[in-house]
Structure 1
Amino acid sequence: MAALAWLLIPLFAAIGAGLWGSWANRNRKTAGDGIELAGYTRFREAMEKPDAVVEPEPHSGG
């Protein structure tokens, strides 16, 4: 009976590895690239704008 137990351990390990492998390799539904592309588009548009830097007012010093 002890030999049967030692043979069942690798069997259960193989079954567990197969289940984990199929779970890890599953097709995940993602939100798509729309969010990332929209963020990149906003970044690109912001970088293409002419510099709109506002000069700070001079400090009166006193």
Structure 2
Amino acid sequence: MAALAWLLIPLFAAFGAAIWGGWAARNRSTGDVTELADYARFREAMEKSHSGSQPA
């Protein structure tokens, strides 16, 4: 029974590594569109806040 336990440890480690590897290599390109839209809104807000005030 102890030999079976020692064989299961690497099996569980390999399974965990496969899950982590799949999670780490996932496609994250879907957030770029949202981030670019947020950045555009940020720039517009900054231009609005500075357009009305003239330096003295």
Same fold (TM over 0.5): yes
Instruction: Provide TM-score, normalisation by structure 2.
Output: 0.62
Taking only aligned residues, the RMSD between alpha carbons, in angstroms, comes to: 2.1
How many Å separate the matches in 2 of 1:21 and 1:44? 43
Structure 1: stretches of 5+ with no match in the other structure: 53-62
Q: TM-score, normalised by structure 1?
A: 0.58
- Give the aligned residue type for 1:43: M
Q: Secondary structure at the match of 2:3?
A: helix
2:8 paired residue number: 8
Q: Give, in angstroms, the shift of residue 46 of structure 1.
A: 2.3
In structure 1, what residue type is equivalent to 2:39? Answer: E
- Report the counterpart of residue 59 of structure 1 in structure 2: none
Q: 5+ residue gaps in structure 2?
A: none
- 1:34 aligned onto 2:42: no
Structure number, greater radius of gyration: 1
Runs of 4 or more, structure 1, over 3 Å off, are none
- Size of the alignment, in residue pairs? 51
Amino acid at match of 1:4: L
